[in-house]
Structures are given as structure tokens and as C-alpha cells.
Amino acid sequence: MTITRARFYNPVVGRFTQENTYRGDGLNLYSYVSNNPVNYYDPSGYSSCSSKSNPWNEFQKANKGKFASTKEAVEAYKKTLGVTYEGSLYRNVGLMPNGSPVDPLEISPFTEKQNYRYTKPGTNGLYFGRDQNVVDCEIRSYNTDPYGKGRTTYVYDDVKVDNMLDLTNPKTRKLMGVKKGDLLTDDYKTNIGGATTHKMGEFAKDNGYTGLIVPSARLDGGVNLVIFDPKNINF
Amino acid sequence: METDFIIKLAKAYTEELWSDFANLFPKVDTDDAILKEMPDDVVNVLVGLLGIEQVKEWVCTPLERLDNQIIKELIKTDTGLKAAKMFILSMRI
């Protein structure tokens, strides 16, 4: 896959090597932290629902008589929670075992075999940070230097990803029966397939979501995106 | 020291998961005294993931996410070796 829209962070000069194509951040076009905290939206109205347009009520109205029980209706509703993410994505990668650079937008053979927070071995997913701090904190949490030899941070601006399951949204977490703390523990390392995060990943994948928007476990307030099949995204 | 987390990691270990992963990494020849004392498969994976320069320091550093254990010491017991392999399998780097 050709990386035509990525920027590369140069730690020596502390700047990105290309001008950010997004011109909404004021005069400093090399800025890497947007001042706008609202960088994804929910076309369904789920995350900003008012008492007049409650999506759960709308769903029930539209599917009246279709389900045998409320529980059945809730299970069906859980499959319709997709939101659209719009903004930048950051990813830090190293080298392939043969010394060639990892393609940041492809599932490498060893990624497929690894055990990640939302994707157990055999379930593919690429992990991105919503900003550079998230990526740096996560790489550093393993005592690895994100700017060490052979490592590169790729930045994709103005990315739009539809149908994401947003677990940063407390309402979505409540509906899914999970607490934020369940998503931040390292249980996935010791309970493969049974950990809450693995179950959320499996649910999202099995129900056709493009991926997940999740709280960072390494940076308080940080946000990660997990995308199951990067080929579906226009980077 | 075998903490609860180390024991849990070791219990989660399966040979199949590890070997499926480790077999993707080519054999590394090294003269480094510390790395030569470590199992080949662990060295191969770590060098593949981190690069040889970083590995030498990394295996001697207490890892906060691994209850401050040092890999080169941890792998000297069977439980520690299994825990280390599971930890490496879960590193998103």
C-alpha cells in the first residue's frame, strides 16, 4: 500500500517533515495537536441525543413487534451503534524481522500472531493513536524508544472511518455492560479470549463494525482506534 | 520473584501460540555474552521486534509493565520463561 498522505515526525527538529494538509488549526500548519477536542461525530445522533430524539426509542419504534423481548431488542440495537471518526491518526512502527520497514497500513505476519488488547491471536487489527502523545506513551510503556533506530511515527490527516464502536462513550459502555476500568487492565495478557477487551473486539468484528474507538490504557484521556481491515479505509 | 501477574502470565502460556509466533523470526547469530545465555527463540523474536542494539539494554532493564522484572533474570525459571514469552507476545511495538 502506498503511503501518500502520511507525515513523518522528525525527532531531531521536533517537527513534521511535511506541511499538514489540514488548514483548520490556525497559522501553524506544522502543528500536530489539534485544539479541537471534538474530532469525531455521530451521524446517528447517539452520542448527542436529546430527549426529543432518543435513538433507542427511535429503534424501538422502527422495529415494533419485531422482537420477542426487550433483551432481544437490546441485542439487536447493540449492532447499530456505529459512529464516524474524523480526524488524524498516528501510528508508530519498527522494522520487520528482515530489517525492512513495517508497512504501517498492513497487517504484518507477526501482528496476526500477537496478542493485543482488543484482538487476540488470529484476529487482525491495526492500532492507532488519536494524537502523538498516546502513541509515544504506549511505545514507552514497554521501555522502547518511539524515536529509536528503525522506528517511525506515521501521521494520517483528515481520515474518515465509518461504523466504529465507540467505547469512549459512557452510554455505549453501559449498553455493552462494560466499565472503563475493564478496558484499561492488562487482563488480555493472561486471559486470552476471555478478557473484556477481547470480547469487545470479537463483538465488534462479528457484528460488522469497522473497528473500535477506545480509551488509551497508557495515557489518561488518550484515545486509540483499532481498525480490523485497513484496506477498507481511505488513508 | 514470581508475582501474581507473572504466575498468571505463565498459566496463560501455550506452546502453540508462542511457536506460531516465534517461528516467523529468523535465527540471530550474536556474540553478545548476555544474549548467548538466553534461549534462541526468545532472542530471535526480541531482535526481530526491537533491533539488536535495543535488545541488549532492554533485557537488562526492569520492565514496569512486567512487575519490574528483568527479562534476563526472569527466564531462568520455567514459570518466568513462560511469563516472559507471553509478555513478549502481547507487546504492541
Predicted local distance difference test score (pLDDT) of residue A15: 54
Predicted local distance difference test score (pLDDT) of residue A121: 95
For A136-158, the pLDDT digits (tens) are: 999 999 998 899 888 899 999 99
Q: Which residues contact B36 (CB under 8 A, 6 or more apart)?
A: B30
For A18-39, the pLDDT digits (tens) are: 544 433 333 343 333 333 334 4
Minimal-distance CA residue of chain A relative to B43: A97
Predicted local distance difference test score (pLDDT) of residue A175: 94
> What value does the mean pLDDT take over residues A154-175?
96
Inter-chain CB proximity B50 and A190 less than 8 Å = no
Angle, helices A55-62 vs A70-77, to 10°: value is 120
Q: Which of A114, A127, A141 sits opposite B65 (nearest CB)?
A: A141
Predicted local distance difference test score (pLDDT) of residue B89: 95
- Measure in Å the smallest separation between the Cα of B90 and chain A Cα atoms: 5
- Taking contacts as CB-CB distances below 8 angstroms, the residues of chain A near B20 are 113, 121
- Measure in Å the smallest separation between the Cα of B9 and chain A Cα atoms: 5
The number of C-beta contacts closer than 8 angstroms across A and B is 82
SS (H, E, C) A153-173: EEEEEEEEEEEEEECCCHHHH
Domain that holds residue B56: 4-89
Minimal-distance CA residue of chain B relative to A153: B93
Q: What's the mean pLDDT when you consider all of chain A?
A: 82
* CA separation for the pair A198, A16 (Å, rounded): 34
For A197-210, the pLDDT digits (tens) are: 999 999 999 999 99
Counted domains in chain B:
1
Predicted local distance difference test score (pLDDT) of residue A108: 84
For A219-230, the pLDDT digits (tens) are: 999 999 999 999
Bridge partner list, A129: A90, A224
Q: Is the pLDDT of residue A79 over 50?
A: yes
Q: Is the pLDDT of residue A41 over 60?
A: no
A118 lies within 8 A of chain B by CB: no
CA B18 distance to own-chain centroid? 11
Predicted local distance difference test score (pLDDT) of residue A52: 59
- Taking contacts as CB-CB distances below 8 angstroms, the residues of chain B near A189 are 9, 12, 86-87, 90
Inter-chain CB proximity A143 and B26 less than 8 Å = no
A133 lies within 8 A of chain B by CB: no
pTM (2 d.p.): 0.83
Q: Is the pLDDT of residue A111 over 50?
A: yes
Q: Is the pLDDT of residue A67 over 70?
A: yes
B92 lies within 8 A of chain A by CB: yes
Predicted local distance difference test score (pLDDT) of residue A161: 96
Predicted local distance difference test score (pLDDT) of residue A8: 66
Q: Are A1 and A105 in contact (CB under 8 A)?
A: yes
Inter-chain CB proximity B26 and A97 less than 8 Å = yes
Q: Is the pLDDT of residue A95 over 90?
A: no
- Taking contacts as CB-CB distances below 8 angstroms, the residues of chain A near B67 are none
* CA separation for the pair B70, A196 (Å, rounded): 28
* CA separation for the pair A151, A232 (Å, rounded): 25
Side chain identity at residue A139, one-letter code: I
CA atoms within a 13 Å half-sphere pointing along the CA-CB vector of A158: 8
Q: Is the pLDDT of residue A134 over 50?
A: yes
For B16-63, the pLDDT digits (tens) are: 999 999 999 999 988 899 999 999 999 999 998 888 888 999 999 999
**Interface with chain B: mutation pick from A93, A107, A110, A224, highest number of B CBs within 10 Å:** A110
Predicted local distance difference test score (pLDDT) of residue A49: 41
- Measure in Å the smallest separation between the Cα of A128 and chain B Cα atoms: 11
CA B50 distance to own-chain centroid? 12
CA A110 distance to own-chain centroid? 20
H or E, element range at A41: strand A40-41
For A114-126, the pLDDT digits (tens) are: 999 999 999 999 9
Predicted local distance difference test score (pLDDT) of residue A196: 98
* CA separation for the pair B84, B71 (Å, rounded): 7
DSSP secondary structure letter of residue A47: G
Q: Are A154 and A201 in contact (CB under 8 A)?
A: no
> What value does the mean pLDDT take over residues B66-85?
97
Question: In chain A, pLDDT over 90 holds for what percent of residues?
Answer: 59
ipTM comes to: 0.91
Task: Identify the burial level of A124 via C-beta atoms within 10 angstroms of its C-beta, where 0-12 means exposed, 13-18 middle and 19 or more buried.
Answer: middle
Lowest mean pLDDT among A113-117, A141-145, A192-196, B81-85: A141-145
